[in-house]
Amino acid sequence: MKPVVILGIFVADTAYRADRMPKMGETILGRTFVLGPGGKGSNQSVAAAMAQRGTGGRTHFITRLGRDDFAQIARSTWAAAGVQPEVTEDLDSYTGAAFIFLEEATGNNAIIVAPGAAGRVSVADVEAKRGLIEGAAVFVTQLEQPIPAARRGLEIARAAGVVTILNPAPAAPLDDPMLALCDFVTPNESEAEALTGLPVTSVSEAERAADALLAKGVGACVITLGGNGALYRDRSRSVHVPVISAGPVVETTGAGDAFNGGFAVALSEGRDVVDAVRFGCATAGISVTRPGTAPAMPDRAEIEALLARS
């Protein structure tokens, strides 16, 4: 079984839960604080490895870390989930960190990321893992590390016939040649709007944004719609996959990462793409019922059980 290979960053999440965001110059009391693992690439790797548990599948994660206490959080997180790290240790920088504000009443979030060493992931780092990428079933990247590194990873994967997924988060301007390297792009509503200039507040608006992305050369779009599930659209079909609920929502942080990790695993196993979207939605549906990001990712048995009753 060929592996899932993910390029991205790890950051230590510092999550503060409060009734509201403080105004500039204001100090308020928070309700809770949690320190834990984060970074989109790392979260997606954990989600993928957990979704492969018991199947013999493998997930490799390409990144950079400093040599510090936060790096130890990364390594212990990956070991617990079964992620195989492909790490460049950067002694001239620090392991990244993220500030996460969580709104008590809704679980919605606002995030600031300081990627540190992972912000120095280079084209050379990606070239050093060329053989690993070329041997993958699926290659996944995002936009938290420098874009030239993401582009080179997509180029290597595309040339080798590997399925390519770009999760265009955080939103950033991308040229058409880079988008054309992507078999799948997986934006949420705001990221789809940033890429296309079109509002995405409904399924029909998501279809129009997906068409704009298809016109830019992407192979297919999966626009995640929060509580409204996800829209899959390519040049021959369009399918709205409703949300797959596993219970009350506790926290939405990491839901997109859960989706992308589950989606990548399902594709790597040869599932039909719409079934892969449902698998990703189930992965996300479980993750939002738990606090945290990587610690909220479900294992294979949980995902299969939810799909069986949905």
Question: What is the distance between the alpha carbons of residues 280 and 193, in angstroms, rounded to a whole number?
Answer: 22
Are the CB atoms for 292 and 34 separated by under 8 Å? yes
Peptide bond before residue 170 is cis, with ω within 30 degrees of 0: yes
Neighbours of 301 (CB within 10 A): 10
Q: Strand locations in 154-275, DSSP E?
A: 163-166, 184-185, 220-224, 230-233, 238-241
Q: Strand locations in the chain, DSSP E?
A: 4-7, 11-18, 32-38, 59-65, 84-89, 95-103, 109-116, 138-141, 163-166, 184-185, 220-224, 230-233, 238-241
Three-class SS of residue 38? strand
Integer-rounded Cα radius of gyration of the chain: 18
Sheet-wide strand order for 32-38 = 32-38, 11-18, 95-103, 109-116
Question: What is the distance between the alpha carbons of residues 300 and 283, in angstroms, rounded to a whole number?
Answer: 9
Decide if 257 is catalytic: yes
Neighbours of 21 (CB within 10 A): 11
- Of 68, 234, 257, 272, which one is the catalytic site residue? 257
**Catalytic residue IDs:** 257
